Structure 1
Amino acid sequence: MESAALLNAIIENAIDGIITINDRGLIESINPPACRLFQYKPAEVTGKNISILMPPPHREQHDEYIRRYQQTGRGHIIGIGREVTGLRKDGTLFPFRLAVSEVKYSGRIIYTGFIHDLSREKEAEDRLKEYAAHLKDEVEERTQSLMLSVKELEKAKDEVSISLEKEKELGQLKSRFVSMASHEFRTPLSAVQLSASLIEKYAGQSQSKNISKHVGKIKNAVGNLTTILNDFLSHEKLEAGRVEPSPTVFDLVKLAEEITEEMQLMAKKDQNIIYLHTGSNSKVNLDLNLLKNCIINLIANAIKYSGENTFIEFNTELSKSGCTITVKDNGIGIPDTDQKHLFEAFFRAHNTGNIPGTGLGLHIVARYVRLMNGNVTFKSSINKGTLFTISFPEQ
């Protein structure tokens, strides 16, 4: 009696549902978990055929399953972990795992079914499938979007390549044109310059002030045109990467004195260039031509943007810290709003008025100085002048 009571307590308190049927398929017992699963009270199913808990077509076939098993010992009735579908009292279906055992008890055969509800597992599985399907759709959508982006990028790449090729061709044509134009203009300009000098010479003592005046205008115009052509040619060489510094050791003071003498001839009336060198040494290791171009450009600007009866201070200094070159004028100065653009190509300050220029000179100076590993800075105030400083580190 104690064993029977213990067995009954285990069955009643089991987590899974347990149903027993006889050899005719009639329900003999059902525990509370099974009642909750199928929504029946024990009295509503006890003594009835187990097929009441089965949906079609298994309901109609269940008795045949039992008969076949009893005759052959094979069939669907005995099994471990089969997934089947149950029919609740309200007509809804639910999945469960069924394990059936054959038990001989008191000289008769009883079949015991162990029922494990799979509703939550199936719901989770369905959600997982939905999520997987959603991910698959999203991956396909993003893959298509990525493929479209790749095609657009390839198309853009082809367009950019074509544009770059065209730009390269235009750049080469422009460079060739500027070089050709510069050289072609120089020949007639040289002839005009020479002719103006000969007119001045042949006029001799009999020349009038008007002849001298107009010859001077011709020379100035030729000089301005030559400067413009040189600026354009230098800029094109820089853009094409054809300017490579060639450092040599030379006498900086000698170069500065030559430049001072040369530029003094271009100065306005009563403009004076005052040169001063500081330091016991005068030798530097730089590109002579590039440095000469930079100094001439700065002094030419000082002459151009300063008035008559002014001084232009030109200084060089060699010390342990390196080489410093300064050019200071008392001219029109550079507006504060223009100073950040001063070294940009083709930029001219707004207060230059009708003073001729290309806007390339300071851009070329900055590029040449950088090529020689130097630095160029300036300080300027309106109507008080400008100070340019070129510095090179110790060599």
Structure 2
Amino acid sequence: MDNLKLLHAIFNTAIDGIITIDSQGLIETMNPAALRLFGYEEEEVSGENISVLIPKPDKGAHNGYLHRHQDTGKKRIIGTGREVLGLKKDGTTFPFRLAVSEVEYENRKIYTGFIHDLSKEKEAEENLKKYTSELEAKIKERTQNLEHLINDLEKARDEADRSMEKQKELNLLKTRFVSMASHEFRTPLSSIQLSALLIDKYLEKLEPENILKHTAKIKNSVAHLTGILNDFLSLEKLEAGKTKALLQSFDLVKFSEELIEEMQLIAKQNQNIVYQHTGAISHVYLDPALLKNAAINLVSNAIKYSGENTFIEFNSEVDEAEVCITVKDNGIGIPEEEQKHLFQPFFRAHNTGNIPGTGLGLNIVKRYVELMGGKVIYHSAQHEGTSVSLIFKNR
């Protein structure tokens, strides 16, 4: 087989497309593989400008590349491979790798383009991108689900921790309750029992003064027990979330005057509760029942922890911004190192001695005040007395 026949056989059987053009960019030959790629018959493209196989916007640029090469000798596209788009007869495009070579033949230049179809590679590449994108989306979704699961687990753990802490607090409260109740109930009950026995004795001797003295002790003991039970009931309602603030408008001055008149009846000998109001405004928007319970608790503490022949100050102040109620005494005060426990349930300072109390009052006061959107501030020093203020925003 001579060389010409060999080249012709290679040209016709090559898998990749081969196209030759002259120096004017006119197609001279296209092998069968190239014709199949572009969808043409040989006679349809023979003699046509190569631009017929190039889609816009590169269609008009090809001749310019060819002429610049011929004028300058610079090989911009010749001798290199690059990816381009081809235009089929049916108007569709496809990607291929183009390598162009220049050949001198019979005193003229012929340019040969070798075309390798990249459609399957590009399709596989797009499929890979799509698969990668879908995989990334699934990974992102799974990651988000995992993050949500972790967050839920952390919340469940935190909830379990809070439940355990709450259980510890409840167990501690039960222990404190048993300890306090065994002490606080024993004393008044013993007093009631003893007074009842003595009354029987004094009845035989007809000693009315002693009888009255012991009936008064019984009344005081019963009042003390009633106060303890009321504290327990208030705490139970607060813990169960049954206590709600029912806000309404009322006159704070009238409210305070009536409360002081009531509390003065249980004050010690020569204890005087002095009331003063500051501000031209007297109407407030709070829960009068919760406020009364809180104020009675503060005044009761002032009476209980102050001596005879003392003054207790009850002050109210209302302006456009705030409502402030302050109870101040000159009693035993609270040791500085114990003040951090002041609002804990069942807490009582060590210097209270034999003065009766449940240790629940200030805890209840604080929670009542917070239900009304307020806060409690205090100042106390041992042997110098205590000042407690209830502060609310004026609505």
Please report the TM-score for the alignment, with normalisation by the length of structure 2. 0.49
Please report the TM-score for the alignment, with normalisation by the length of structure 1. 0.49
